[in-house]
């Protein structure tokens, strides 16, 4: 029969418990990987007083309960010896069929983590406060809110994978980002109808920029995403049915590779109604379209409406630059400055104008290609008192 071990106070010690000569208690156990581990405390139970001059800590038996719970849940107490960088790399390696922009974002996040001390830390050592402190550091280092949002958007599900794999117990990134870092991003607001008319007038009357008038008019009056807009081909403009077929988008990667992708969201495939003035713009574009010796073909698509000087399809960057140069010229002439206008601002302006005109939210969701009605409804929150007053008069009157 084995001898019952006791501490210096005569208390019976359980299996794995012992007391060192200096009075400190020790608990030995095997973790879920079979490795021999030990934890220590100057107190055996929670009711024991703290020894004078010793660091305050939870008692040995409190630590035993934590370990027992972890082992019962089959959670590895060493996080698999995996660093934050290794975890994120494993998470990304399991993603298949991602779009170019998504892959570019993954690469951005990996490069950021590689430069951070945080990336070399073991995942089982990361606490909630550590995760928050790291994101605050990123903002203090000059990272914008949108960049931090993107980084957390990858790191959080990576840590959730570690939780699901029983490597850690809790996800330290499960918190609202806005409660930790300041949202200093500039919201792309819709411009007013007056600003829209003035912007289009300026383009139409300008000798150089007038060639972009029809395209910009279409962006303002269809709400198309710019990647959908540049991907349009002659066959996508169905004049007889008064609609625009949207079933793909065109993008160009950093290595100048053109590719056709499915629309951004699952609701992205749709038909966008085409009013007469928009149809007239398309007719003008098709009539004035370049006729290259060799028609460019991207992933089986040809007949793109807009071609650059190299007879290749224009991409989003072309139009973003056109908008920038137009605004710069406008503001160099007029005292009343035009706000920042981009292709996305055109889309947001269209959505806001339709909401102000009383369009049914579900109808607007379909036209915009929003997968979530909440995205569409957010536009209605931008309406002003005058809009509410006008709508009230319609309902009451």
- Residues serving a catalytic function are 225, 264, 344, 347, 370, 380
Q: How far is it, in rounded angstroms, from Cα 185 to Cα 321? A: 21
Name 108's Cβ contacts closer than 8 Å, sequence gap at least 6: 147, 150
What is the CB neighbour count within 10 angstroms for residue 356? 19
Contact 131, 160 (CB under 8 A): no
Distances 222 to 49, 72, 273, 280 between C-alpha atoms, Å: 73, 58, 8, 13
Nearest CA to 341 among 207, 231, 200, 147?
200
Residue 320: both structure tokens together: 């973003």
Contact 224, 294 (CB under 8 A): no
Contact 251, 340 (CB under 8 A): no
Q: What's the token pair of residue 34?
A: 């079979």
- Decide: 25 and 16 in contact? Cβ < 8 Å: no
Residue 118 sits at φ, ψ, to 5 deg, of -55, -35
Residue 199, token pair as written in the block: 């912007």
Distance of alpha carbon 117 from alpha carbon 114, whole angstroms? 8
* Residue in 342, 223, 316, 341 with CA at minimum distance from that of residue 261: 316
Exposure string of 227-266, with b = 16+ CB inside 10 Å and e = fewer, is bbbbbbbeebbeeeeebbbbebbbbbeeeeebeebebbee
What number of H helices and E strands is found in the chain?
A: 14, 8
């Amino acid at each position: 029969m084995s001898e019952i071990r006791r501490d210096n106070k005569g208390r019976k010690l359980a299996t794995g418990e012992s007391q060192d000569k200096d009075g400190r208690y020790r608990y030995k156990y095997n973790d879920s990987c079979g490795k021999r581990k030990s934890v220590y405390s100057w107190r055996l139970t929670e009711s024991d007083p703290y020894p004078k001059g010793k660091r305050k800590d939870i008692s040995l038996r409190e630590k035993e309960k934590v370990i027992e719970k972890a082992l019962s849940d089959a959670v590895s107490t060493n996080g698999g010896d995996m660093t934050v960088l290794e975890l994120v790399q494993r998470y990304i390696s399991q993603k298949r069929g991602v779009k170019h922009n998504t892959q570019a974002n993954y690469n951005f996040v990996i490069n950021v983590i590689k430069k951070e001390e945080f990336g070399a830390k073991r995942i089982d050592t990361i606490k909630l406060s550590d995760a928050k402190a790291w994101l605050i550091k990123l903002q203090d280092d000059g990272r914008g809110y949108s960049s931090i949002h993107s980084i957390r958007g990858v790191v959080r599900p990576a840590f959730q994978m570690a939780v699901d794999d029983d490597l850690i117990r809790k996800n330290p990134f499960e918190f609202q980002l806005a409660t930790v870092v300041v949202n200093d991003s500039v919201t792309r607001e819709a411009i007013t109808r007056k600003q829209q008319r003035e912007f289009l007038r300026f383009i139409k009357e300008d000798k150089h920029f007038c060639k972009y008038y029809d395209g910009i008019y279409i962006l303002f009056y269809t709400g198309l995403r710019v990647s959908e807009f540049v991907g349009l081909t002659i066959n996508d403009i169905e004049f007889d049915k008064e609609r625009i077929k949207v079933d793909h988008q065109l993008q160009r990667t950093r290595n100048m590779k053109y590719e056709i992708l499915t629309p951004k969201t699952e609701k992205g495939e749709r038909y966008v109604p085409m009013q007469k003035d928009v149809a007239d713009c398309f007719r003008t574009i098709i009539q004035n379209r370049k006729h290259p010796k060799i028609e460019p073909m991207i992933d089986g698509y040809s007949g793109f409406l807009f071609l650059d000087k190299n007879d290749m399809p224009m991409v989003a960057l072309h139009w973003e630059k056109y908008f920038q140069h137009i605004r710069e010229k406008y503001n160099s002439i007029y005292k009343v400055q035009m706000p920042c206008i981009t292709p996305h601002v055109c889309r947001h302006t269209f959505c806001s104008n339709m909401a102000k005109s009383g369009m049914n939210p579900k109808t607007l969701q379909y036209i915009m290609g929003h997968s979530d009605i909440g995205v569409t409804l957010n536009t209605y929150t931008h309406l002003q008192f005058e809009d509410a007053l006008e709508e009230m008069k319609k309902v009451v009157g």
